[in-house]
Structure 1
Amino acid sequence: MGTRLIIDTDPGVDDAFAIGLAALSDDVELLGVTTVFGNVPLETTTLNARRLLELCGRPDVPVAAGADRPLVHAQLDRAAHVHGADGLSGRSHTLPEPTRPLESSDAVSLLVSLIEAADGPVTLAPIGPLTNIALLLAAHPGVKAKIARIVIMGGGLHHGNSTPAAEFNIWSDPEAARRVLVEEDVPCVLVPLDLTHRCAFDSAWLGKLAASGPLGATLKSLTAEYLAHYRTELGFDGIVLHDAVAVAEAIKPGILVTETYPIEVDCGFGAARGATVADRRLKPGGGRTVDVALDTDLDGLRAFLLTRLAGTR
């Protein structure tokens, strides 16, 4: 039996690769996908998720729509300038139309039903704002006993990307992030920008993916606007697949090297709003800790993603 996995997502180009990674891995039991506002509005993220599962030949996977806004304060900005207005570099319409209807239940209800019905512990991989996960844990604490761990793409210990201090997913709903990372007691792995930026995938890697077959070529075709954005940030032709790095850890525990720290999330209204602060003192105080992914075998990780997405495993 492989990893029982539910992805909570806001596709998003890097989300597309993350969904593909899970959907195409034969050692993953992909129980469901839930959607959240984030890179683009909820209606768009939800359609993108359904189309991506259809592309991967996985209409068996249920999809439910979740929160369309943060818990408390309005989302200040989206990420269309990075991912394109449709979230997928203007190419969402080229994906196959979904054949499975959207679930009539909301995301939290689907999460509860899938977790309770699972025949063992379930891993959650939230790769967008943490609103749905915060709502789940607050309203249904009984499911926590069946959550193996929550592998989160978010945060940055030394820098942000939406602001100098804050990474996009955490910044989009800091109150939800604080609930999950600070106030709860479910085991969490945080995969921050500090590592995901180091795991950049260059044009040669993308070329190998495109040459692997129609599915790989389609995934590569979704990267045009994303590639243009990261060409400026990275200084070379490449992209950063933040969310796929986190899902790799969800699938293969230990592929990322972690260190354990207490985490705080800044929910104030100054320049640090949405910042994730790790207490890295030698003898921090007691309380809840989070495993923070800070290293990996970079070439090994890139090979892992390529073999899974190319279907050569």
Structure 2
Amino acid sequence: MTSLIIDTDPGVDDAFAIALACASPEVDLLAVTTVFGNAALDTTTRNALRLLALCGRDDVPVARGADRPLVHPQVHEAELVHGNDGLSGRAHTLPDSGRSPVESDAVGLMAALLRDAPEPVTIVPIGPLTNIAALLAAYPSLRSRIARLVIMGGALSGGNTTAVAEFNLWSDPEAARRVLVEERLPTLLVPTDLTFRCRVDRAWLDRLSAAGPLGATLVGLTADYVAHYTTFFGEECTVLHDAIAVAEAIRPGLLRTTTYPVEVDCTFGPSRGALVADRRTPEIIATFGSTLARAVDIATDTDVDEVRDFLLTRLAG
């Protein structure tokens, strides 16, 4: 049994990620914590509660986290991609959970769960890394209680928000740098380079929609999202970024990794929020050295059909 905490900013792809965790019997979903990102915090928190209600998991606590970045304001949310309610304008199709977030904030809840868990816990941050940076800063003694971080974020060869920056890292570069560069936790980063390759087409969505009410509701949330990625790729499809990270957390080794020294650009030039990875060969790095001190495992390859089949099988029930 894998104990998971999902830190999220739902978000269409976050919806699929949460549903995937709920549909996986080998997962003990300890909590869902929320953060600003795809929409404002009130919206992402409400979406998380309603998504858990959709999945029949009102037993999973939800805690509100950061409503803004650590240092500098977020320039914009992801309304163009996710709609004005984070869910393609379809959040109203989800059941009303009838409950509120727990009294504790996200960092406090994660700390309590880590402290009380019998085994180290996997945390899956699939939004901006503000909550995770705050957790590690406030509770350094709990680092050993984290089995690993499986993070959706970053891009090796071109961003989705700027020319070089992916949305989650771009939304709070200072927090991303704290987590990815300054910490020394077991970390696997799932970048858009790989999640784009795992995109699903209309036939996949239609199969999921036909499988039952859960699948039909999830696919119903994708209208704006599909329209965006159809324009982006020139084919009718969508990208389930965050669900790919949750899939790896559920089935370790599903994604193949390469270890690279990394940095996150926190300057105010055109590369702000970019993931900088030293992709030279180990022999070249050994000879000439690298100015990037922290090495992180980055998901660079997978059996794409296996990932798609895993997601479809679980979400279709």
- TM-score of the aligned structures, taking structure 2 as reference length: 0.96
Query: What pairs up with 1:256-271 in 2 under 5 angstroms?
Result: 256-271=255-270
d(CA) in 2 for partners of 1:165, 1:237: 24
d(CA) in 1 for partners of 2:214, 2:56: 10
Query: What pairs up with 1:283-302 in 2 under 5 angstroms?
Result: 283=282, 284=285, 285=289, 287-302=293-308
For 1:4, give the aligned amino acid.
S
Please tell me whether the aligned partners of residues 263 and 294 of structure 2 are also in contact (alpha carbons under 8 angstroms): no
For 2:3, give the aligned amino acid.
R
1:277 maps to what in 2?
276
1:182 maps to what in 2?
181
Moved more, 283-292 or 202-211: 283-292
Counterpart pick for 1:306 among 287, 309, 312: 312
d(CA) in 1 for partners of 2:112, 2:216: 35
1:100 shift after superposition: 3.5
1:198 maps to what in 2?
197
For 2:158, give the aligned amino acid.
H
d(CA) in 2 for partners of 1:262, 1:135: 23
1:274 shift after superposition: 0.4
1:173 maps to what in 2?
172
| Aligned-residue CA RMSD (Å) | 0.9
- Flag structure 2 segments of 5+ consecutive residues without an equivalent: none
d(CA) in 2 for partners of 1:64, 1:127: 15
For 1:295, give the aligned amino acid.
D
Query: What pairs up with 1:65-214 in 2 under 5 angstroms?
Result: 65-214=64-213
Identity of aligned residues (%): 66
DSSP-derived class of the 2:294 partner: coil
1:19 maps to what in 2?
18
For 2:181, give the aligned amino acid.
V
1:99 shift after superposition: 3.4
d(CA) in 2 for partners of 1:303, 1:167: 26
d(CA) in 2 for partners of 1:26, 1:105: 27
- Flag structure 1 segments of 5+ consecutive residues without an equivalent: none
For 1:19, give the aligned amino acid.
I
d(CA) in 2 for partners of 1:101, 1:161: 33
Q: Note the alpha carbon deviations across 1:110-143, whole angstroms, 9 max, x for none.
A: 0001111111010000000000000000110111
For 1:275, give the aligned amino acid.
A
For 2:194, give the aligned amino acid.
L
d(CA) in 2 for partners of 1:101, 1:38: 20
Please tell me whether the aligned partners of residues 59 and 99 of structure 1 are also in contact (alpha carbons under 8 angstroms): no
d(CA) in 2 for partners of 1:234, 1:169: 20
Q: Note the alpha carbon deviations across 1:88-115, whole angstroms, 9 max, x for none.
A: 0111011111133310110000000111
d(CA) in 1 for partners of 2:171, 2:234: 27
For 1:18, give the aligned amino acid.
A
